[in-house]
Structure 1
């Protein structure tokens, strides 16, 4: 283990009494875990009671709440967890997911041998709590990227559809988050994708274990990610947020061009294609002088594209 390699695991919890004990215990069994920063996001079931029992068993379990114990959502809860974390390394775990044995073993080695590494990513698999069709099962393979991808090319790999990552498989230096920023609390869903893409744009992420799962994502009837309508609604907003952030944080116009190209392609399959593109153009280009006075302005202006056709 890397000397001083201790991890704070951040778990946002909202009404997850069915799964939370398994999640916490899976983190407690990892020798590299210094603390589990649990943010109880206004749960109304027995989640808090279970957490207090776990805290009595192991003092590494730290329980936090939002002001007045309100429900603030996953992004704000993770942000609070980041602020409360005391370790130099941070990892995430959703309350209905769990780590597998040796979750951080390879991460420690990577950080030891790669001084420039801001983070390490690992493959995440799926655990089914409900019956799924063969078609759905085939769609939920490993969340991973190829080990051969350079840290400088991870964002481009995302844009080309070469794979994707999940928060459960990420381990980050806490200082890396200062480069990419916290989670976007304005996004109800897709905040994890937004966060990971920002990391890929600003930080150097190295491969850990990418051919087999280091953690498993629980698939059950209440999963938000199973609700395609919700994700479709916020998918465009996620990319709009990312593009605006990229413009403000001096991401190259070439990379912003790739983001815009993907967003316009996504909207091309929507019913209100022209309206969505026009509204998105206003949100993006009116928020950034840099983009407004770039060649991307006319390239993605919907009326110009309409005339060309």
Structure 2
């Protein structure tokens, strides 16, 4: 089967970087379409996308109903459900692909028939708004070693092998039948949420990790500078992952890793042993009742559950 790539680019007020991003995807031979989804832009991005669609046959412009703003998750999801390629790749509108972005990906996917996707290194470029056109290429900040698919999730959740960056990921469209789409309840951290689901349910192989296949632009409008958003949504992401894991027959040892990751994260914000114990007990029970239900149902058949809960019944 021929492997064909649909590139999905969510766009919101990115006119400063947009054309470079779109053309970097259009110029990849393996790409059959570039789906650009305008998420209610007001800075002229929409008009520029209309021009690019007219000039390049690969470019397909999509909108939400009534051209409203729905956020990155919903915007990427519209791209996924509209794609015609059997491979999906993502590119943020202020980033760009490097030459031959997908050559090695196709090789890896053909080499491993059981593969669901490939991850690669991404470089970073800092744009200084105070100095015209000045940028500085930074070191790679992505997965830094070859990891077997069976242990990839453990490495990612523990932070021992580096991190994924969405511009370096190419996956089979069929993988989304296993993971579901992006979590639209998350305003940030939606990429980590889907990455970990992919690592749990799919088989992701190492691509290029010693050189970048794409460049991420770092500037004053990046969402990761909005620390308050991550503080707000990070626990939502973990709780959502645990609920999803319990519904999708994820092994208990992996759910346990998620619980430990939450404990470590929350532990750092607590001071004093008494407060730590009290905080953990309260949060563990309050936020993760579903886990207790899951374990209870799994390990206590109906008859034993009745005897445990209602010992007076015969």
- TM bin, normalised by shorter chain, reads 0.7 to 0.9
2:101 alignment counterpart: 103
2:176 alignment counterpart: 177
Within-5 A mapping of 1:123-202? 123-130=121-128, 141-162=139-160, 163-202=162-201
Q: Is the 2:64–2:70 contact (alpha carbons within 8 Å) kept by the matching residues of 1?
A: yes
**Aligned equivalent of 2:119, options 118, 121, 129:** 121
Q: Is the 1:10–1:91 contact (alpha carbons within 8 Å) kept by the matching residues of 2?
A: yes
1:47 alignment counterpart: 45
2: distance between equivalents of 1:94 and 1:267? Answer: 30
Q: Deviations over 1:1-53 (max 9, x none)?
A: xx622100001111111111111011011111100011111111100111111
Deviates more, 1:228-237 or 1:205-214: 228-237
The structure with the larger Rg is: 2
1: distance between equivalents of 2:11 and 2:292? Answer: 36
Alpha-carbon shift at residue 98 of structure 1 (Å): 0.6
Alpha-carbon shift at residue 155 of structure 1 (Å): 0.5
Instruction: Detail structure 1 runs of 4+ shifted over 3 Å in the superposition.
Output: 271-277, 291-295
Q: Deviations over 1:160-203 (max 9, x none)?
A: 21211011101011001111110000011000000000000000
Q: Is the 1:240–1:280 contact (alpha carbons within 8 Å) kept by the matching residues of 2?
A: no
SS in 2 for 1:120: strand
Deviates more, 1:112-121 or 1:234-243: 234-243
2: distance between equivalents of 1:265 and 1:292? Answer: 25
Q: 1:253 to 1:131 in 2, by over 3 A?
A: same
SS in 1 for 2:257: helix
Alpha-carbon shift at residue 293 of structure 1 (Å): 5.6
Q: 1:291 to 1:33 in 2, by over 3 A?
A: same
Q: 1:49 to 1:280 in 2, by over 3 A?
A: farther
Cα RMSD (Å): 2.3
TM-score normalised by the chain length of structure 2: 0.86
2: distance between equivalents of 1:205 and 1:166? Answer: 14
User: Which residues of structure 1 form unaligned runs of 5+?
Assistant: 296-309
TM-score normalised by the chain length of structure 1: 0.87
2: distance between equivalents of 1:215 and 1:243? Answer: 31
2:232 alignment counterpart: 233
